[in-house]
Structure 1
C-alpha cells in the first residue's frame, strides 16, 4: 500500500534501506521488495533457532506461543503484498543481509528493503500503544550494518541512526539485553539463558521466510 500524501514525508522513498517501527511503520513507508521483521526478544530469535533445527513454524502457532507482536508485523507485511518477508535478529543479522543480496542478484535489480523493528505492545490488544525496545533497535541496526557491509548501503537517516547505535554499542550487547526492560521481564521468569543467547551476534545462518502462512528456512 503506497503511503498517503499525509505520510509521504515519512516514506523514506529516496532510500534503498528504510527503517520504522511496528505495523504503523509499515504503512508509513514506501512499498518494499523485502521486509525484515525484527523482534529480538523473542519472536525473531526463537523462530530463527527453530527453523535452523529444521522446523516449519506456522505463523499462527508462533503468535500464540512466542509473540503476538512480531507475528502481527509479519502478517501485516504479507497482507500488504510484500514479496519477501524475513525474520531478523542479532543471531542472524549477517545471514539476513546475505539473503537480501542473493535475492537482489537473482532478480537483477536493486531491491527496496524495509527493516521493521517490532517493539512491544503495552497490552495484548493489537491496537495498544507500542513501546520502544532497545533490543529491537540494536537488532535492526545490526541488520542495517550487515546490509551496508554487503554493499546495500543507501540507507535512510532512520536506518543510519539505528546502524550507528549498534556499531557503538556492539561490545555491550549482552549487558544491554539483560539490563533492558524486556530482558529483565524474561529474567524474572527464569529465562536468563534465552536472553543471553539472543545477544550473540551472527550465531546462525538460518533466515526464516514467510510462505503461505508458515515460517520456513530460506531458500
Structure 2
C-alpha cells in the first residue's frame, strides 16, 4: 500500500476517509492519533478456573461515581469471541492491572493468541497474587490493580465495551502519595504498531491567571 492509497492531499492537510480505507486501516488511523494510550492489562478467570491475562489499549475511565473503567474488546481474527470477554461474561469479574514500563516484554507476550485452556500467567512466566474482592488474580508487579465487577456491556460496531465498577484497588508501595498524587513517569503506554512508550515526561502548566 502506498501513501496515495490512504491519503488525499489538499495542499494543507492529508485527508483520510474511513469509508475509503482498506479493511483494518481505520484501526491504524485511530491508533496513530490517540497517543500514548493507557493499557488495561486485564486478568480474568474462566468458568472452569483457567486464568487469562491480556492487554487492551482501548481503555479509559468511565465514571467518577461509582468509580468505573471501560475497555474495548475486538473480535478474534476469525470473528470469534476473545477469552477475556468470554470469561467476563461467565463470571462478571475482572482485574485491570496497570503495568510498569519494566513489564513491556511481558505485556507484549500476553497480547498473542493462546488457546482458552492456556493460563497466560504460567505461559509467559508472570507472577500473580490473589485479589481481595474478586476471583481473578492480580499481576504481582502491577503499579495498580483495579478489581472490578461487570456493570454493563455496550456493543459498538465490531467491538464490545466492557464497563466495570472498581470495587477495590491495590497499589505498589509508594505509588500514590499525599492526596493520591502520582509522580512516576514509568507507566507503560501504547504507541502505534508494535511499539510502546516507557518514560513519559511529566510537567505542570504555568498558570496565565
Q: Same fold (TM over 0.5)?
A: no
Structure having the larger proportion of residues in helix: 1
Between 1 and 2, higher relative CO (CA 8 Å, sep ≥ 6) is seen in 1
Give the greater-gyration-radius structure (CA).
2
Structure having the larger proportion of residues in strand: 2
Query: How does the TM-score come out when normalised to structure 1?
Result: 0.27
